[in-house]
Structure 1
Amino acid sequence: MTDIEYGRRRRPLRVRGRKLGRNLGWVPPLLLLVGIVLLDFNTSERFRIITWIVLVPGTAAAICGVWTTGAFAVLAVATYVAVDSAWPGEYRAGLGDFVLVAVGGLLAVIACAVRLRKERQTLHIQDIAETTRRTVLRPLPARWGGLEHAGVYLAADVDARVGGDFYDIQPGPHGTRLFVGDVQGKGLGAVETAAALLGTFREAGYHEADLATVAERLEMRMLRHRRHTTALGREDGDRFATAVLIGFPEDAEESIDVVNFGHEPPLAIGPRGVRELPSGDGLPLGFGDLVEGLPPVHRVPLAADETLLLVTDGVTEARDRRGTFYPLALELAPAAGAGPDRAGPSRLVWLVRDGVLRHSGGRLSDDTTVFAVRRAREAAGEDGEEGRLRS
């Protein structure tokens, strides 16, 4: 199963595995306060900087809690009074600067409270996004439906956790089916469309004996979904999805059935090299009413020592600074001749993931999914145990 890549929640700073005073956020403002006091005492009366102590609660507001910020605001006022009183009367900063420090501390406490409220709202939104992700991209066992698999989803938006890319494996009485695709567009509309297609796949992929019937059900679901969104007055009534539907028939262990809805062609990687499976000879899901018939079902060979790699266009369209596309086949060539262990799902997914990020300099222009599967071997190898990739 995959693990999505995104920014982690901020965690308390730990030293030697223990929390120090819950965190060490109080250290910088305390050091700043001490430094201002020492500098004020070690400069002449012409360069009084005790007023700079207003920066102490401001610094605390950015990295500490409300109570800690309030404590620094009070400490700053008290320190200001004590230090300023130690100077002769004619050199004291005066009432105006005292008011500045007091008001600055009060504003720092308010700013800290606003910051923490925004952080709580952000974490709540992230929790909702995480729930949505697990609903659309449900967790899968490391070995599922007789397949070893691994995958990773890279969000183009660093704050996003799910987009229009989707994948799933559905075992059933008619063999295991695999579904990988990419919904056109971004945002909640794309997520909603992906969820609709995956729901239909999970039902039809289990019950329908004929893979062509599953493909027909997916096309019909896409058309129904578009009609529904159009009736609601939304502007995504022309949305479509490229996808690959693959069946692993139980009566043909050296072959797979492939229906390609205008998606990037799957790649088979094994000791004999890298080969491309049938390309997208059909239109994407949602365009079936423009032509007669759906894409054909191709039965193609897939040896037991070959791994099937499927990617979305975020991989093939990744560019470097010079505009050069990511050379996927070239990157996979060394792994192809390195044996089944080196060309297993986990290793291939990590290879492509790292290659795309390196090639694009970490600047992804589109959501990117890399998914790899192969028929499970008798004994779980390294790749079978590492089906769940972690970022």
Structure 2
Amino acid sequence: MRFRHGRTPRLGRSWRPGRGLVIIPIAMIAAITVIDINSPTTIHLGPFLVAAPAITASFAGPTLTGAIGALAVAAQVVIGHLHGGLMTPNHQAQIAALVVISVFVTLFRYLRSRHERQLGQVRSVSVATQQVLMRPLPRRIGPLWIASAYLAAEAEAEIGGDLYAAVPAVRATRLVIGDVRGKGLPAINEAALLVGAFRGSAYRNLPLPGIVAHLGNSVYWNIVHFAEGEPEHEESFVTALVLDIHEDAPCISMVNCGHPPPLLLRDGSVRSLEVREPALPLGLSATSESEYEVETFRFEAGDLLLLYTDGVIEARDRAGTFYPLTERITGWNGSGPQSLVRHLHGDLLQHAGGTLGDDAAMIAIARSR
């Protein structure tokens, strides 16, 4: 797990382990050859030469591994020639065994290198997909400072079923954070659909209930028309939180569709922004604007707002204890969205033992003074 939206380190020339470590198997071959030649004929150290290509395969590619294997075979031939001749059964058996083992080690290294290249291609596609669907939120939008993080639960994945996005609204910044039921490609498909619908509707300047109804109907329409006969799609829905952070008033307007409530940090205390009647998750049925109620909360300069998905609060440690988010924020001594997200990112992974059971996303927002 990594901090997905951190700063990418600058690439440059770096020392490759293979360039220096190749001295080890070469020195091993030379040492075994010299010692064996100068030892009595009853002592055979040639079988130890097999360690040279085996060690090389741990840090080098198939070409260098094969070259070291050939060098080891050549050394075994020299030892056999000087210790009784190449036609003795013992030396012939040692040479044949070394050839076979070197070939197998080189072959396995080739297959591993091919798998690593394929995995690298998959990861590059995953990163490109993330950049398109889950673009990092800007650190500054108007009077707001923002930090975000995404942790995918799937091995080697960059994105999953959690989502977030931000668009401009009338004298406000509009944000959505959501969690698609399920995992894998179906969840990614639903997340992409909802993020696309959210961004595509920005120019329409819909009121908050209108945008929520639009998102819910987009998900429901997709399920009805494209998920027939696919149970993993038909049972899909999205919990979501859609909110406007106003620029001309110290408050936020919010519609909660079955999503975990945000947390507000003010003067060292933490408050959960609970709505009176949360709406149903998106995608369960067709909806209209009148079905959603907007609630308003104070959000003043100096406050810190944390949005998150249930992958954060449902992360368990080895004893099965859920991550105590409110408690960990209360004991936090830093300041600013970047510091909070960085703290929660590391603390969450430490609590879960480095592996999450579900995707997790978080956004911290502060209003400048």
Instruction: Give the TM bin, normalised by the shorter chain.
Output: 0.7 to 0.9
- Bigger Cα displacement from structure 2, 40-49 vs 149-158: 40-49
**How far, CA to CA, are the matches of 1:145 and 1:285 in structure 2?**
29
Q: Give the 5 Å matches for 1:348-359.
A: 348-359=340-351
Aligned pair partner of 2:150 in 147, 150, 153? 153
**How far, CA to CA, are the matches of 2:19 and 2:143 in structure 1?**
47
For 1:372, give the aligned amino acid: A
Is 1:236 paired with 2:233? Answer: yes
- Bigger Cα displacement from structure 2, 198-207 vs 30-39: 30-39
Residue 303 of structure 2 corresponds to which residue in structure 1? Answer: 306
Q: Give the 5 Å matches for 1:276-295.
A: 276-279=272-275, 281-289=278-286, 294-295=291-292
Residue 98 of structure 1 corresponds to which residue in structure 2? Answer: 95
Is 1:61 paired with 2:57? Answer: yes
Is 1:373 paired with 2:365? Answer: yes
**How far, CA to CA, are the matches of 1:45 and 1:22 in structure 2?**
35
1:79-124 alpha-carbon deviations (Å, 9 max, x no partner): 1111232324598832122122223223333333222222111111
Is 1:274 paired with 2:270? Answer: yes
Residue 389 of structure 1 corresponds to which residue in structure 2? Answer: none
Counterpart contact for 2:5–2:148, Cα < 8 Å: no
Aligned pair partner of 2:338 in 335, 346, 358? 346
Return closer, same or farther for 1:359/1:175 CA change in 2, 3 Å cut-off: same
Q: CA deviation at 1:215?
A: 0.5
Aligned pair partner of 1:224 in 221, 225, 235? 221
Aligned length: 363
**How far, CA to CA, are the matches of 1:168 and 1:133 in structure 2?**
12
1:43-71 alpha-carbon deviations (Å, 9 max, x no partner): 66554231232332233234212331222
Aligned pair partner of 2:20 in 17, 20, 24? 24
For 2:266, give the aligned amino acid: G
Return closer, same or farther for 1:369/1:31 CA change in 2, 3 Å cut-off: farther
SS at match of 1:162: coil
Return closer, same or farther for 1:24/1:173 CA change in 2, 3 Å cut-off: farther
Residue 262 of structure 1 corresponds to which residue in structure 2? Answer: 258
SS at match of 2:264: strand
Counterpart contact for 1:164–1:194, Cα < 8 Å: yes
- Moved >6 Å (runs of 4+): none
Return closer, same or farther for 1:133/1:18 CA change in 2, 3 Å cut-off: closer
Task: Determine what percentage of the aligned residue pairs are the same residue.
Answer: 33
Counterpart contact for 1:54–1:101, Cα < 8 Å: yes
Q: CA deviation at 1:363?
A: 3.0
1:293-344 alpha-carbon deviations (Å, 9 max, x no partner): 6342111111111111011111111222222222111111134xx6xxx331
**How far, CA to CA, are the matches of 1:52 and 1:74 in structure 2?**
14
Q: CA deviation at 1:31?
A: 4.2
For 1:243, give the aligned amino acid: A
SS at match of 2:355: coil
1:149-177 alpha-carbon deviations (Å, 9 max, x no partner): 11211222341111011111112345210
Q: What is the aligned-residue RMSD (CA, Å)?
A: 3.0
Residue 176 of structure 1 corresponds to which residue in structure 2? Answer: 173
Return closer, same or farther for 1:195/1:20 CA change in 2, 3 Å cut-off: closer
Residue 211 of structure 2 corresponds to which residue in structure 1? Answer: 214
- Bigger Cα displacement from structure 2, 299-308 vs 102-111: 102-111
Residue 190 of structure 1 corresponds to which residue in structure 2? Answer: 187
1:14-38 alpha-carbon deviations (Å, 9 max, x no partner): 9xx7536973342443344345436
Calculate the TM-score normalised by the size of structure 2. Answer: 0.88
For 2:111, give the aligned amino acid: V
Residue 141 of structure 2 corresponds to which residue in structure 1? Answer: 144
Unaligned runs of 5+ in 2: none
Q: CA deviation at 1:40?
A: 3.8
Counterpart contact for 2:254–2:296, Cα < 8 Å: yes
Residue 324 of structure 2 corresponds to which residue in structure 1? Answer: 327
For 2:33, give the aligned amino acid: V
For 1:236, give the aligned amino acid: H
**How far, CA to CA, are the matches of 1:371 and 1:43 in structure 2?**
69
Return closer, same or farther for 1:314/1:65 CA change in 2, 3 Å cut-off: same
For 1:147, give the aligned amino acid: L
**How far, CA to CA, are the matches of 1:321 and 1:245 in structure 2?**
34
1:222-261 alpha-carbon deviations (Å, 9 max, x no partner): 1012113324756411111111111012342x11001111
1:154-210 alpha-carbon deviations (Å, 9 max, x no partner): 222341111011111112345210111111111111111111100111122442241
Counterpart contact for 1:270–1:307, Cα < 8 Å: yes
